[in-house]
Amino acid sequence: MKAMILAAGRGDRMRPLTLETPKPLLEVGGKPLIVHHIEKLALNGFSDLVINHAWLGEKIEAALGNGEALGVSISWSRENEPLESAGGIFQALPLLASNAEISSFICVNADIWTDYSFKNLPFIDSQTLLAWLVLVDNPEHHPEGDFVLADGKIREAKEGEEKLTFSGIAVYHPALFKDISAGKQSIVPLLKQAMANGKVGGEYYAGEWSDIGTVQRLQSLDSKLKTEK
């Protein structure tokens, strides 16, 4: 499978750090966030990567090039403005799926950090699933969670059910995007429709995971990783 790293966000909540540096190039533990992902993907056998970008994207390309120095091959999906999750993936589909009928692909948000092993992610067949999501415990800044995991399937919660948080790590099939057109749009409505049809599977991960959405969380993770070294 190919893998896509979503790196087109503006990082508004990370300002002033992101005024001159795109969020994926902010460093934790001595290296950029996006390099942590690339190294883990390469270690787990995924060397054919697609990365989208918008805000200060030329700096990301300049830092990573074609990926050879990190042992991978990078194709770039350039956005004039951030297209959000579904819009960005839709634009990149020609780079991700040489055969749209069978080619599922990994997708990971650039602004998370995790020790999750990407080799555990499954290949999915559109006849049974359109997406596979990794869920984690709800962080302090998102206590309400997102979805319910039950019997290997992910769905929206019924009243009173406890939810888990979507980690930003997933496998998608191109068929998930077959009814949309180019433009800025979120993937959430597509996932909810697929869930209603029983087409979203997933797993719970109890290991290390952080959503790097604020300067404070970036600094906290950086200190933690440096201490562990």
User: Distance between CA atoms of 183 and 177, rounded to whole angstroms?
Assistant: 12
Burial 123-155 (b: 16+ CB within 10 A, else e): ebebeebbbbbbbbeeeeeeeebbbbbeeeebb
Position 11 confidence tier, pLDDT thresholds 50, 70, 90: confident
Report residue 187: phi and psi, to 5°.
Answer: -85, -15
In three-state secondary structure terms, 204 is: strand
User: Distance between CA atoms of 4 and 21, rounded to whole angstroms?
Assistant: 21
> What pTM did the predictor assign?
0.94
The CATH number of residue 176's host domain is 3.90.550.10
Q: Express each pLDDT in 112-161 by its tens digit.
A: 999 999 999 999 988 899 999 999 999 999 999 999 999 999 999 988 89
First vs last C-alpha separation in the chain: 32
Count how many domains the chain has: 1
Written as six digits, the tokens of 32 are 């950029």
User: Distance between CA atoms of 176 and 172, rounded to whole angstroms?
Assistant: 7
Q: Cα dihedral sign for 132, 135, 141, 146?
A: positive
In three-state secondary structure terms, 136 is: strand
Q: What is the pLDDT at residue 109?
A: 97
In three-state secondary structure terms, 191 is: helix
Position 213 confidence tier, pLDDT thresholds 50, 70, 90: confident
Tell whether the model's pLDDT for residue 182 goes beyond 70: yes
Position 13 confidence tier, pLDDT thresholds 50, 70, 90: confident
In three-state secondary structure terms, 172 is: strand
Q: What is the pLDDT at residue 227?
A: 86
DSSP assignment string, 207-221: S-EEE--SHHHHHHH
Tell me the residue range of the domain where 65 lies.
3-228
Q: Express each pLDDT in 48-74 by its tens digit.
A: 999 999 989 999 999 999 999 999 999
On whether the CB atoms of residues 176 and 102 are closer than 8 A, the answer is: no
| Percent with pLDDT over 90 in the chain | 84
